[in-house]
Structure 1
């Protein structure tokens, strides 16, 4: 699904993977990969790039790749979307030891890879990247059997991206947190699947709080635990006077 907002292309590719393209051609990916969301796309064509290990077809077009936390750290996904001279921004806490998957350590990625935290903005190819806190409340519903949050504070982040003056907010895997309402957002990309993140009701409340010009929900229907009624979400958000776009294939 691709939607357009003021010269910006917004494409949800499945799970948490989002592709953004500015009017000047700058391409940003957020949390690319996991669960095969990049495996079957027709754009995955062409010979392999020797430097990155990625296809040299249209997938290898990312100027900037942002990774929010260890659950979404997928080196193969990064390689498939990043151009050879891409910059990869990875949240500070992401470490290969934080996953039971066999993944390349962050410091071994074949790109200009930089660590980010919520203390400072980063500018890459004219895109201003502001990492935002993202976590589950310790006393909320998104906890493990032992009572610890699935995404504890400091484990990951969301991203507020300023792309040619359009402010795109990708909250990441999080509950709705105090302070979110202070953000100035044009395009909101909230998770709606629940279980590990805010559910569709919480995401609708966040949309009403932020009053963006466009909402594109993500992080739902990839597997059973995050199935969501996207049509009900869209009706809820639209009923609050906020435009919303859905992937018609879900």
Structure 2
């Protein structure tokens, strides 16, 4: 059993059945106006070194393994990781730097976290992500792809399920679009609004999953 939990903004944790936990893009809470992530990671993956994504000390244990902007492949504690270099903007990083797309394989599931992706995907990356089990994708615009661009990527990749991230919620002090600005584009997917922060991977099919923050 794999449990996915959203901790606000771009911070997402993936917990395996043995409680081994992967944390993506931790924030410190106070800097962006949200509660601090209440999770500790055995493996911490940072897509890019910006303040709202790299608060490693908040989620780190003494034994944690940390990968920042890792590009390549690795096998860590039975978790297969691939980090793929992308950009935080539409100008090959000249404005906001690089970004990493992480693809991890956990207990038979393939999960992709797109970080602060700022541009359309290459055909090669679309093929790599096609039919992935869970696509974690920014939808809030301003610093990343916007709602319409996010939907275009989803249409191309055809993931089984989608977890939107990096959008405006109450308290967030960043100028992002709210989730409803993305949902107007959604077709042929169920929209599932949860009463909790977490869900079990495999519980939904062809769904846009929106946890409560």
Q: TM-score, normalised by structure 2?
A: 0.77
Contact 1:68 1:172 in 2 (8 A): yes
Distance 2:52 2:8 in 1: 15
Tell me which of 72, 83, 90 is aligned to 2:68.
Answer: 90
- Residue 139 of structure 2 corresponds to 192
Distance 2:37 2:83 in 1: 32
More RCO (CA 8 Å, sep 6+) = 2
| Alignment CA distance shift 1:235-1:214 (3 Å) | farther
Q: Distance in 2 between matches of 1:79 and 1:39?
A: 17
Alignment RMSD, CA only? Answer: 2.5
Map of 1:177 onto structure 2: 121
Deviation, 1:9, is 1.2
Whether the 8 Å contact between 1:204 and 1:233 is mirrored in structure 2 is yes
CA distance in 2 between counterparts of 1:78 and 1:11 reads 17
The answer (yes or no) to whether the contact 1:208–1:240 under 8 Å persists in 2 is no
Judging changes above 3 Å, is the alpha-carbon distance between structure 1 residues 41 and 133 closer, same or farther for their aligned structure 2 residues?
Answer: closer
Report Cα offsets for 1:106-140 as digits up to 9, x if no partner.
xxxxxxxxxx22xx20111111111122212229x
Distance 1:32 1:68, change over 3 A: same
Match of 2:201 in 1: none
Asked if the contact 1:13–1:38 (Cα under 8 Å) also holds between the matched residues in 2, the reply is no
Tell me whether 1:20 sits opposite 2:8 in the alignment.
no
Equivalent position SS for 2:164 = coil
The aligned residue for residue 158 of structure 2 is 211
Are the counterparts in 1 of residues 29 and 37 from structure 2 also a CA contact under 8 Å? no
Give 1:105's aligned residue.
none
Q: 1:72 to 1:163 in 2, by over 3 A?
A: farther
Aligned to 2:77: 125
Shift of the 31–191 alpha-carbon distance from structure 1 to 2, 3 Å rule, reads same
CA contact (8 A) 1:195 1:225 kept: yes
Q: Distance in 2 between matches of 1:73 and 1:218?
A: 13
Tell me, yes or no, if the aligned pair for 1:131 and 1:157 is still in contact at 8 Å. yes
User: Residues 55-134 of structure 1: matches in 2 within 5 Å?
Assistant: 59=39, 61-72=40-51, 77-91=55-69, 116-117=70-71, 120-134=72-86
SS of the counterpart of 1:183? helix
Tell me whether 1:247 sits opposite 2:192 in the alignment: no
- In the TM superposition, structure 1's runs of 4+ consecutive aligned residues that sit over 6 Å from their partners are none
Shift of 1:24: 2.5
Compared with structure 1, are the counterparts of its residues 245 and 73 closer, same or farther at alpha carbon in structure 2 (3 Å cutoff)? Answer: closer
8 Å Cα contact 2:104/2:111 also seen in 1: yes
Question: 1:169 & 1:207 partners in 2: Cα distance?
Answer: 12
Match of 1:245, SS state, is: strand
Based on CA coordinates, which of the two structures has the bigger radius of gyration? 1
User: 2:175: which partner in 1?
Assistant: 225
Matched-pair contact (CA < 8 Å) for 2:37–2:58: no
Higher percent of residues as strand: 2
- Structure 2: stretches of 5+ with no match in the other structure: 190-205
Shift of 1:182: 0.7
